[in-house]
Each structure stands twice: as C-alpha cells, then as structure tokens.
A and B are shown apart, each in its own frame.
Chain A
Amino acid sequence: MKILLIEDELALQSTIKESLEMEHYLVETASDFNAAMEKLFIYDYDCILLDIMLPGGSGLHLLEELKAHGKSGNVIIISAKDSLDDKLEGLALGADDYVTKPFHIAELNARVKAVLRRNRPEGKNEIVAGELYMDLDQRILLVSGQTVALNRKEFDILRYFLLNKNRLITRTALAEHVWGDNIDQSDNFDFIYYQIKNLRKKLQEAGAVTEIKAVYGIGYKLVEL
C-alpha cells in the first residue's frame, strides 16, 4: 500500500510517517504544493493525506486537480481549519474524509484503514484478526465462528482496537472516537475502564485469545497472540 503524505510541518510529517510505517505502508512525503503536484501526477497512491494550507498553494486546489483527473477518491484532508465550510468544500471536491488537527495518531490510522478498505474492489466491509471476525455493515462479531453479542459502544470500541491492532490507543483517543469529540476526559476514565472490562470479559468468555492490554495507565493495546 502506497501512501502520499502532503504536510508542510516537518515535525508532524515525520510523526505521521513513522506511525504509518509501523503499519507497513510505503509512505512518501511532499512538503509543498509543487512537490505534491509532481508526485501526484507521476505516481498512483492508495491513499493521500492532504494538508490544506501549503506553501505555494492551497490543498483544496490540489484536490480540484485530482478531481479533474478522477483521482480524488482516496484523499483524507488533514487540516487545522475545522470550519464547516472547509469540510464541506473538501468533501464536495471528492475527498473521502477529513481530520482536524490536533488528532491522535490512532485516529488517523483508523481513518486511513477505513479509506483503504472502502476503495478495495472486492468491497466486503469486514475486519478479520485471528479468531475475530467483524462485519462492519451488519455490526456482527464472531469469535471462532460464534456470534458474540456486543452493545453499540462495545462494538465501536472493538472496531477501533481492530483498526489499531498492536498499537497504543490512549484513553482520550478512545473516548473521543467512541463518545464524541467534545468529551470532558477526566470524568470518564473510570467509565472507560468499566467498558473495557466488560468487553474483555465478553471476549474471554467467547474464548478469544486476542486481548486488550492496559498500557502504562494511559491507554490500551489490542494484542493478537
């Protein structure tokens, strides 16, 4: 899988690149409008991460060019601008998704995976990880072929973990992803702990070897044994 990361802030660029490489993607970078333009029209990418504010031109302009060439379907906009207008304009230009800075790398990771999966030709919306099988359309979880009933939030949590397999998910990232953007974090930690506990119990009872581990008291990691 080849990903083009267009971001002018080099420190952020390297962070994102490192994170994506941990997922074994091939990541190329561009840090200004012209470099991005050049790469975009020479190579094909499975996913493009695009910052809106670039030296030398607007990311939205790049998106227009891509759209004109029918290549805008796998773009995720990364922007510090989260006004509704920009979001709508970006999506209208064919971008697939939109994340606002600052974001958790787990969140970006999940979005990239979602885009990649959506653009797969065979198109069945599912995640398979070891003995776990998750049908995202019908919201069903099978553990070793047996259905395990999850409530809505538990399903969302597990999906997020599966999209970030073997990666650290901080509690904040999890809370933001599952319970919405403007969550008041500190009030929620014992609740998150309770939810994870329930989810672990259900997985264990179904005999799953995949495990959700606590990491340094700051988050969790789904580990596939």
Chain B
Amino acid sequence: MKLLNRSLQYLSLSMLLIVSIWSVVFYLDMMDEIYDSIDDGLDNYKLLIQNKAEQDSTVLLKNSFDESNYAIRPLSESVAFKIYDVYKDTMIYMPFEEDMEPVRLLTSAFEHKGKYYELKVISSMVEEDDLMKSLLQHMVWLYILLIVCIIIINNVVLKKLWLPFYNLLQQFKDFRLGKDSGLTEVKTNINEFEELQIAGQALISHSVEAYNRQKQFTENAAHELQTPLAIISGKIELLLERDTLSEQAAETLSEVLQISERMNQLNKSLLLLSKIENKQFYNNQDISLTKLVKQGVDEFEDFVEFRNLSIDIRESGEVHLHMDVVLAGILVSNLLKNALYHNIERGEVIIEMNENKLHICNTSASVELNGNVIFNRFYKSDAGRQGTGLGLAILKAIVQLYGFKITYSYKNAMHCFEITFR
C-alpha cells in the first residue's frame, strides 16, 4: 500500500472518530442550551399567567390547554405544598402535525387569595429526531468534505513534498553496480530526505569502491601471474628440448607443461574478462556482423571439414553493429567455437542473423543445459572437459557491455544461443 493511501486510511479513520465525538458533544451541548432557553421561557410565561390571574380571575377557570399553552386547576393546600416547579418532556396531540408531538411541560403551584392552584405551562419543543437527522446529515457532509480535502492535499501537496523521495527511489532502482558511479543529486530542504540521500550515496560509494577494488584485484592478479607463468612454460619447453631427458621424465614434464598451459589459458581468459568488465575496450566503430561471421566460418573451414559439419547461414541483408572490433571478433569466434567444438560428427550448425539478433544453433551429444548457470564463471557442463569455463562468461560480459541480451534455449535437439541487439 502506498504511503499516501495509508496515511489517508489513518486520517479518515481518526476524522470519523473526531467528527462523531464532536457531533455527540455538540448535540448534547445544543440540547442543553435549548432546554435552558425553553425552560426560561416557561418560567417567564408562568410569571405572566400568575400576574394576569391577579387582575383577571377568569384565568383561573381555564383548566384545559385547548387553544392556549397553559392549564390551571385548583389544589388542596397539602398537595400544593408538595409541588415544586418541575420541567419535563411529554407528548401532546397537535392537530397541525396530526400526531403526538413532544412538548416541554412546567408543572408549578401557586396561591391566589388563599386558594391553591396547580399551573401547567407547555411550550413546543424542537423535534429531537428531526434535529438529530439534520445534524447527522451535516456531520456526514462535513466528513465527506474533510476526506475530499485530505485527498486533494495528499495528492497535490504531499506528492510534491515526496517528490525527492520518489526521485531517490527511482535512482536506487536504476542503479547498476559497475555501470553507474553514484546518485545524481536531488535538491531537497527536508532533513529526512537529505539524510536518506547522504546515506544512500555513502552506501553506493562503498559498494562501488569495493566492486572496483575487487575488479582491479582480479586484473592485477592475472597481470602479475603472467611473468611467472611465462617463466614456467618457457623453462619446461626448453627442458623438453634437451635430449638428456629420460622418456619418463619427459612425459611427466609434458603433463606439467599441459597444466601450466591450462593455467595460462585460464589467466588470459580471466584477464580478458576483467578487462571487458573494466571497460578497457572502447575502440567502437561500425562493423559488419555479416562479414565477421563469414570470416569466422572461413577460419574454421578446416575444422568443419574435419568433423564433416554442415553450416547453414541464413541472413537477411547485411547486419551492422557499433562496437569494439576486438570484442566483436571475440564474440563471434567464441560463439562459433562453442557451436563447432561441442558438435557431433556430421553435425549441423545453423546461423541466423538480422538487424535485431544473431541466432546460432548446433547439434550436440550433450543434453539440454541449464540456461541459468551456463553463463556463470567457471561453469562446466561436464567435469571431464578441460576448457576454462570462462568462454560463455566472456560472451555474456561482452554482450552486457553493449546492452545486448544473450539467451540459451534447447529446440529440436539443438542448443541455441541468441543475442538480441536492440
């Protein structure tokens, strides 16, 4: 749930509570005021009637409410003394409303010329249910209005306020280690966002630094190994040329030499890989993929003949790419080698290319590979192979450098690699 919606949820719930409590309090308070004012009116009326009775004793004969708002009946003295002014709510039939309606009734007693009378005065009341209904309506409208206002404020003001946050978030999302160097500064005068930005920047620069150091280490290590490896191979090669060696010693030495050559190969591949990742190939130019592929196929002509392979090139027009010429060469030759070396006797290679992709399929003795791991460094489909396990990793590194995509699939008993350029 979005923060905006979540805050709206809390706000609307608390608003509902506040408005409800407020309405109850308001209602009670208002009713209190109304009663107060009606009761004052009744008191006043009572006084007026008493005064009128002093002058006009016919008033005392009016013993039912009828058209006016009071009624008087005589009382015995003992009863009269027990009567205090009492206000109460009661119902009376109102012909106008054709219904029983609530009224406020004041019951009082007074003495007139030694006789005691009970006086009842009524006043029409506010209709509480109507009042409540009306109040509820207003409350609902107030609530709706408040929520609408909050939504508007949320969406306009808060969104604007949160803009730096979303900007930073997007940058974090888009950040790729090895590709970007840091965050673009986001202008904000809100402390929290500023702190987030500083923390994010620090985190990123730590990661970048560690990443660079690690990359640099691989390159330096591979680099430093070159001379010792050259010495080992050279010395063994020279030793093997001496005729003084016994057959057995020579064989052992040959094995050592083979291992040291594997190490050389591994080291070269590692160095190449880290150089690609360290972006040391930037001699980008317009190259023809079509030509490169044909040249590559030409290069392997003998091998193709040797294994009786058939190569089928399907092209639609010449495909041009803008990339480093060395890397393009490695890309094509690695793909080709992969398809040729892992093939079977009288196998088949199909190369399809157009402006968007290069698709290369080959028959093979091996079963479907796991597309998720084959591009990992040092991945080997079977442990017996003596390859470096870096060929596909190098392919992937080149492909990534140029923003291409490489995918593996297994179709019709053929292993297929597809590079999408756009």
| Residues of chain A whose beta carbon lies under 8 Å from any beta carbon of chain B | 9, 11-12, 15-16, 18-19, 22, 80-84, 100-106, 151, 153, 167-168, 170, 172, 179-188, 191, 194-195, 215-219
Contact = CB atoms under 8 A, between A and B. Distances in A.
Contacts of A84: 280-281, 283, 326
A112 B253 CA distance: 26
29 contacts: A9-B227, A9-B231, A11-B235, A15-B231, A15-B234, A19-B237, A80-B223, A80-B227, A81-B223, A101-B226, A101-B230, A102-B226, A102-B234, A103-B230, A106-B237, A153-B302, A168-B237, A168-B240, A170-B257, A180-B299, A181-B268, A182-B333, A182-B334, A186-B385, A187-B385, A195-B306, A216-B253, A217-B254, A218-B258
Contact of A168 (B241, B303, B326, B342): B241
A151 B302 contact: yes
A182 B233 contact: no
Interface residues of B, number: 50
A101 B227 contact: yes
A104 B237 contact: yes
**Interface of chain B, helix or strand or loop or mixed?**
helix
Nearest to A84: B283
Given A12-B227, A80-B227, A191-B303, A19 B254 contact: no
Nearest to B302: A153
Contact of A185 (B231, B262, B303): B262
Nearest to B384: A186
Contacts of A11: 231, 235
A83 B272 CA distance: 10
A12 B231 contact: yes
Contact of A15 (B238, B280, B299, B391): B238
B301 to A, nearest CB: 8
B405 interface: no
A123 B250 CA distance: 40
Interface of B: 223, 226-227, 229-231, 233-235, 237-238, 240-241, 247, 250-251, 253-254, 257-258, 261-262, 264-265, 267-269, 271-272, 275, 280-281, 283, 299, 302-303, 306-307, 326, 330, 333-334, 337, 341-342, 385-388, 391
A206 to B, nearest CB: 20
Contacts of B281: 84
Given A19-B234, A80-B223, A182 B306 contact: no
Contact of B306 (A168, A183, A191): A191
Contacts of B267: 102
Contacts of B233: 102, 104-105
Which 6 A-B residue pairs are closest in the complex by CB-CB distance? A102-B230, A186-B386, A218-B254, A15-B234, A187-B341, A101-B226
B333 A180 contact: yes
Given A182-B333, A216-B240, 16 more contacts: A9-B231, A12-B227, A19-B234, A84-B326, A102-B267, A151-B302, A170-B237, A172-B261, A172-B265, A181-B268, A185-B265, A188-B341, A191-B303, A216-B250, A216-B253, A216-B254
A11 B234 CA distance: 10
A194 to B, nearest CB: 5
A185 B261 contact: yes
Contact of A182 (B227, B234, B275, B330): B330
B265 to A, nearest CB: 6
Most chain A CB inside 10 Å of its own CB: which residue of B230, B237, B247, B326: B230
Given A12-B231, A15-B234, A102-B230, A184 B240 contact: no
A12 B230 contact: yes
Given A102-B226, A151-B302, A182 B269 contact: yes
A174 B234 CA distance: 15
A170 B44 CA distance: 129
A80 B219 CA distance: 12
A185 B386 contact: yes
A137 to B, nearest CB: 21
Nearest to A154: B302
Most chain B CB inside 10 Å of its own CB: which residue of A83, A194, A218: A218
A68 to B, nearest CB: 28
A194 B341 CA distance: 15
Given A187-B341, A188-B341, A179 B299 contact: yes
Nearest to B298: A152
Contacts of A19: 234, 237-238
B238 A105 contact: yes
Contacts of A185: 261-262, 265, 386
